[in-house]
C-alpha cells in the first residue's frame, strides 16, 4: 500500500501549468547516425505523446518551447526545415486537436516568421479556441527577454495605461497574460539552464532537469516529473509554518 501511494499522482496537487524546454533532438539523431531533421521529426511525435499524457494527468496548460529567438543562428537549411515542419504539423493535426480537445495558443513574435506559418498559427488558434481538454501554448520565435521588451513597448504604445509601470501592469502586457504562471518547468537533454524561456513567468516555478533526450520523453517521464513536483514544498519566499 505504501509503495502504491508513493508512486501515484495526487490529483489534488497536480500542477496547473507545465512548461517544457524540449531539448536533445539533434543529439538523439546524431547518436543514431541519422540526419538532425530526423530528430526534429521524432521530437514532434514526443510532443503529441506528451500533450496526450498531460491531458490524462489533469494538467490544464502546457507550454512547449518550440523555436527560440536564438534558433535563427542555426544553419539556414535546418531553420528552413524547422519552419516547414512546424507549418505542416500545425496544418495536419486537426484531428488530434479535435480528439483530445486541445486548444492551441502561441507566444512569441509572429513578425519574423514566414507568412505561411503566421497564417497557420492564426488559423489553428482560431479553430481550436472552443476546445477545453488542455491548452497548449506553442512558443515559436519566442525569447523571454524579447517578450519583456515587447511587453514594455505595448504599455508605452498604449499611453502608459495604468500609471507607472509595475509588475502587475507589465504582466498584463505579456503575450498570454491569461495563462497562470508555470508551476513546473521541465528541461530535457541534460542541460541545466533556462535558455531564455518564460523568464518573467517562471520566477517561482519548480525546475526539473532530466538527461532524457526529448524524442525519448514519454508519459512515464512526465508522470515522474509531476510526482517530483508534488514532493516539493513551495513557499514563495516565506518560511515554513510551525505546526
Active site residues: 23, 71
Query: What gap in Å lies between CA 62 and CA 84, rounded to an integer?
Result: 23
Burial class (CB within 10 angstroms; exposed 0-12, middle 13-18, buried 19+) of 177: exposed
Q: In this structure, are residues 142 and 110 in contact, taking their beta carbons and an 8 Å threshold?
A: no
Closest residue by Cα to residue 21 from 96, 71, 89: 71
Write phi, then psi, for 65 (nearest 5 degrees). Answer: -75, 100
Separation CA 45–CA 51 (nearest Å): 10
The x, y and z cell numbers of residue 37, run together, are 531533421
Of 40, 35, 136, nearest to 93 by C-alpha is 136
Amino acid at each position: 500500500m505504501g509503495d502504491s501511494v508513493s508512486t501515484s499522482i495526487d490529483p489534488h496537487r497536480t500542477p496547473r501549468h507545465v512548461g517544457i524546454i524540449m531539448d536533445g533532438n539533434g543529439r538523439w539523431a546524431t547518436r543514431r547516425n541519422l540526419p538532425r531533421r530526423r530528430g526534429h521529426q521524432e521530437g514532434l511525435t514526443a510532443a503529441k505523446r506528451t500533450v496526450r499524457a498531460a491531458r490524462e494527468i489533469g494538467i490544464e496548460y502546457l507550454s512547449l518551447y518550440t523555436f527560440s529567438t536564438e534558433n535563427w543562428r542555426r544553419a539556414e537549411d535546418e531553420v528552413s526545415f524547422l519552419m516547414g515542419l512546424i507549418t505542416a504539423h500545425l496544418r495536419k493535426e486537426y484531428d488530434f486537436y479535435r480528439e483530445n480537445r486541445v486548444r492551441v495558443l502561441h507566444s512569441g513574435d509572429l513578425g519574423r516568421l514566414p507568412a505561411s506559418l503566421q497564417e497557420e498559427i492564426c488559423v489553428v488558434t482560431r479553430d481550436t479556441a472552443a476546445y477545453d481538454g488542455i491548452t497548449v501554448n506553442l512558443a515559436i520565435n519566442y525569447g523571454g527577454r524579447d517578450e519583456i521588451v515587447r511587453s514594455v513597448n505595448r504599455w508605452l504604445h498604449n499611453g502608459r495605461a495604468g500609471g507607472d509601470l509595475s509588475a502587475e501592469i507589465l504582466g498584463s502586457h505579456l503575450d498570454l497574460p491569461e495563462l497562470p504562471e508555470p508551476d513546473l518547468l521541465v528541461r530535457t537533454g541534460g542541460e541545466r539552464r533556462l535558455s531564455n524561456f518564460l523568464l518573467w513567468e517562471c520566477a517561482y516555478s519548480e525546475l526539473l532537469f532530466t538527461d532524457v533526450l526529448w524524442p525519448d520523453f514519454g508519459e512515464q517521464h512526465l508522470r515522474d516529473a509531476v510526482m517530483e513536483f508534488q514532493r516539493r514544498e513551495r513557499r514563495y519566499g516565506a518560511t515554513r509554518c510551525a505546526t
